[in-house]
Structure 1
Amino acid sequence: MELLGKKVLTIVSNDFDDLEFFYPMIRLKEAGCEVTIAAEEANKDYKGKYGLHTKSDVAFKQVDIKSYDGIIIPGGWAPDYLRRLPEVLNFVRYMHDNKKIIGVICHAGWVLSSAGILKDVRMTSTPGIKDDMMYAGALWADEPVVSDGHIISARRPPDLPLYLPELIKALKK
């Protein structure tokens, strides 16, 4: 229960990557962390790109971002939609400005790019968005997991077993 008392927000929309959403949520809960699922609508069913479903706990408009120790953004195709929502970008900017944990994997880097927080941040992502990350100012690395202060990034699902220990370590601080 190394994360007892910690609170993390995870955000979803349809077409989130099933593994990149469920694996971190389950692992963080196993460590004692309280995980809240936020989406555009509360108590709505959202479908992952491989067919798994989750129900949101709260709507973005209900989130008090100041009460969270971190935000986790799963990849899939959902980040391309989520990056267009002002509430989501404001969550990311708040977490960045306050040096709270931001975890991203695969295509989730798109959200950080749209939030304008990647200047000189060392990170990774799926290679398919490498150029997007670099154009946003990131120092992109083709590594399974990259930690740069409070931003922890990973490339894709096979990197999850390396990504979660880094997230947990960062949340423990």
Structure 2
Amino acid sequence: MAKGERRVLLVLGDYVEDYEAIVPFQALQAYVVSVDAVCPGKKAGDICRTAIHQLSPAHQTYSESRGHNFALNGTFDDIEFNKYDGLIIPGGQAPEYLPLDASVLKLVRKFSDS
């Protein structure tokens, strides 16, 4: 990492909310922030499936449809948390099950403690 370079870790899981993953990923890169998108159990080049939630005008709930295949550019097992300035965990279904993964909890605790 070059001196002064900013770096953010984006932790994803399958059926992460599409816009909550893609928009920060692209926006941060537009501001010359390096973003590593990772998922437990997956490697760089693998994909996370995303979901799109839309408010149903006829009901007081959301409908879910299939989003994109988000290509990961990092490998979760290779993370060195101290090389990052920030952590993003987008919404959707992924945050419902990511806390069940001990390695994700350990990573989040390291960020919180630092």
TM-score where L is the length of structure 1: 0.52
For the 8 Å contact 1:60–1:88, the answer to whether it is kept is: no
Distance 1:46 1:18 in 2: 10
RMSD value over aligned CA atoms? Answer: 1.2
1:47 and 2:63 equivalent? no
Letter of the aligned partner of 1:91 in structure 2?
A: L
Higher relative contact order (CA 8 A, sep 6+): 2
Deviations 1:123-150 (A, max 9, x none): xxxxxxxxxxxxxxxxxxxxxxxxxxxx
Per the alignment, residue 152 of structure 1 pairs with: none
Partner of residue 84, structure 1: 100
Unmatched runs of 5 consecutive residues or more in structure 1: 99-173
Residue of structure 2 in register with 1:24 after alignment: 24
Mark the runs of 5 or more structure 2 residues left unpaired by the alignment. 53-66
Aligned to 2:79: 63
Q: 4+ runs of 1 displaced by more than 3 Å?
A: none
Letter in 2 for 1:60: F
Deviation at residue 59 of structure 1 after TM alignment: 2.7
Match of 1:37? Answer: 37
The corresponding residue for 1:119 is: none
Does structure 2 conserve the Cα–Cα contact (< 8 Å) formed by 1:60 and 1:87? no
Report the structure, 1 or 2, having the larger helix content. 1
1:62-81 residue CA offsets vs partner (Å, 9 max, x unmatched) = 11111111100100001111
Question: Counterparts in 2 of 1:1-173, with a 5 A limit?
Answer: 5-40=5-40, 41-42=42-43, 43-50=45-52, 51-98=67-114
Q: Whole-Å Cα distance in 1 between the matches of residues 72 and 107 of structure 2?
A: 17
Report the residue type matching 1:46 in the other structure. Answer: C
- AA of the residue aligned to 2:89: I
